[in-house]
Amino acid sequence: MPEPNDDAYAQQDHLLNNYRRIIEISQQLSSTYDLQSLLRKIVIAANELIHTEASAILLMDDSTGKLRFAMSSNIKPHEMDEMTVPLDGSIAGWIFTHGEPRVIENASADPDHYQGVDERLSFHTRNLLGVPMKTPTRVLGVVQALNKIDNQRFSDDDIAMLRTLASQAAVAIENARMFQQSDFIAELVHELRNPLVALKASTTLLLRPDLPSEKHEDIIHTMQFETERLIGLTDDFLNVARLESGRVQLDITSFSMHRLLTESTQVIAQQADDKGISISLEGEDLHVAADRGKIKQVLINLLSNAVKYNIPQGTIYLRTQATHENGDQYLQIDVTDTGYGIPEKHQKHMFQKFFRVPTTANMERGTGLGLTVCKGIIEAHSGKIWLRSEEGQGSTFSFTVPLSL
């Protein structure tokens, strides 16, 4: 027959296991410097430790003075873009302002529960536990655990556990931000140096009285090229910075992918004609729900690369097909070239900032940020982007975006 204190021992054992787990999670967080990966690990950990249906991280947006959804286990990235929660008249705002945890056992009856998010997502919040994410100097945001599984109530142990996680998360987020900022600035300075040096050398040459007049035009063309390169670098840096901060704004509409593919090929048509490259389009014309301008940016980048690294008289194949993942419907777009291909050892680095395949780096000059921007845009749409390539046989870059239902 069970001893009277068996339940107490079981509860204590469960609590010890949770604390062992949070130590493991803290070690994972402290070694993660990619902000989006870090936020994703935090919400997964909150669900696991507190046993809830959903969890979310809201961070303070200094530009608006509101809390914005930075990551959620039940909201797709592109749905979070314009979701903000005011400090006044919201539970998250109260937690952020007071710097204290709060438990709401009946959210629908609480006057501070902000209904806007539930209404937008058609999600019913029954109960919630929220705690502030605090560093020694400031509050960064709020972690919320929503809907305790099996209609259970939040316990004191749940509060203590989520506070511990939030404390570790806040430090990890600050470290990731500082790491990205310093790393990004170092990369920016390095990449800007070459075109600036070229511009300085060009102006020095132009000032020489003994420079032949026929050389003036060549130097001016060099200056024009380097100036355009600087503009491209700064544009790409701004795009990467917005994507990495999670503050990219998406204007989601329904549109024909084939029509957008046709528009995008027209942009690079002259570039393709100069190399005798033909372009074909196959697959069903379906409508997608995405930011048309940003998807066009992805397509033009991939098409431009397919021209640059193709062989003369080569071909670019564009294909579309419907696909499913985790119950959601997507359209997959493939951009295939018949070019030089990418060695297998370099393929895993292709979406990293400033990476260029050594064997083709001198063939075409670019910023080294194009594919990084593409990856950020597609992931902001809850899609995926990947490549398949064989050296000497060409490459296929594929991505998915949600179908318009």
- pLDDT over 70 percentage in the chain: 86
- Phi first, then psi: what are they for 335, rounded to 5°? -120, 105
pLDDT at residue 11 in the model = 67
Average pLDDT, the chain: 84
pLDDT at residue 1 in the model = 46
pLDDT at residue 182 in the model = 57
Average pLDDT (396-401) is 96
pLDDT at residue 311 in the model = 93
pLDDT in tens, 43-66: 998 998 899 999 999 998 877 888
pLDDT at residue 29 in the model = 76
Q: Which of 106-110, 113-117, 204-208, 331-335 has the highest mean pLDDT?
A: 331-335
| Cα 327 versus chain centre, distance | 22
Please tell me the least confidently modeled range out of 123-137, 207-221, 269-283: 207-221
Distance from the first to the final alpha carbon of the chain = 58
CA–CA distance, 405 with 70 (Å, rounded to integer): 26
CA–CA distance, 402 with 390 (Å, rounded to integer): 28
> Who contacts 204 (Cβ-Cβ below 8 Å, separation ≥6)?
none
| Residue type for position 226 | E
pLDDT at residue 139 in the model = 92
Q: Are the C-beta atoms of 173 and 38 separated by less than 8 Å?
A: yes
pLDDT at residue 177 in the model = 75
Average pLDDT (126-148) is 92
Per-residue exposure over 349-375, b if at least 16 CB sit within 10 Å of its own CB, e if not? ebbebebbbeebeeeeebbbbbbbbbb
Domain 250-404 has CATH 3.40.50.300: no
295: its two tokens? 């998807």
Does residue 327 register a pLDDT over 90?
no
Average pLDDT (367-387) is 87
pLDDT in tens, 333-360: 999 999 989 988 888 888 887 777 776 6
**pLDDT band at residue 144 using 50, 70 and 90 as cut-offs:** very high
**pLDDT band at residue 6 using 50, 70 and 90 as cut-offs:** low
CA–CA distance, 307 with 313 (Å, rounded to integer): 10
CA–CA distance, 379 with 395 (Å, rounded to integer): 21
- Strands (E) across 81-137 are located at 84-85, 102-104, 128-134
Domain boundaries, the chain: 14-178, 250-404
Distances in whole angstroms, Cα of residue 18 to Cα of each of 49, 95, 302: 7, 24, 46
Start-end of H helices in 268-291: 269-274
Average pLDDT (134-151) is 90
Does residue 134 register a pLDDT over 80?
yes
pLDDT in tens, 176-186: 777 666 556 66
Burial of 272 (0-12, 13-18, 19+ CB in 10 A): buried
Average pLDDT (115-130) is 80
**pLDDT band at residue 189 using 50, 70 and 90 as cut-offs:** low
Does residue 102 register a pLDDT over 50?
yes
72 SS3 class: strand
Does residue 95 register a pLDDT over 80?
yes
pLDDT at residue 191 in the model = 66
Does residue 328 register a pLDDT over 60?
yes
In the block, residue with structure tokens 């018949």: 338
CA–CA distance, 241 with 364 (Å, rounded to integer): 24
48: its two tokens? 């696991």
Question: How is domain 14-178 classified at the CATH fold level?
Answer: Beta-Lactamase (3.30.450)
Average pLDDT (8-34) is 72
Does residue 112 register a pLDDT over 60?
yes
Q: Does the pTM exceed 0.95? A: no
**35-50 vs 6-30: helix axis angle to the nearest 10?**
180
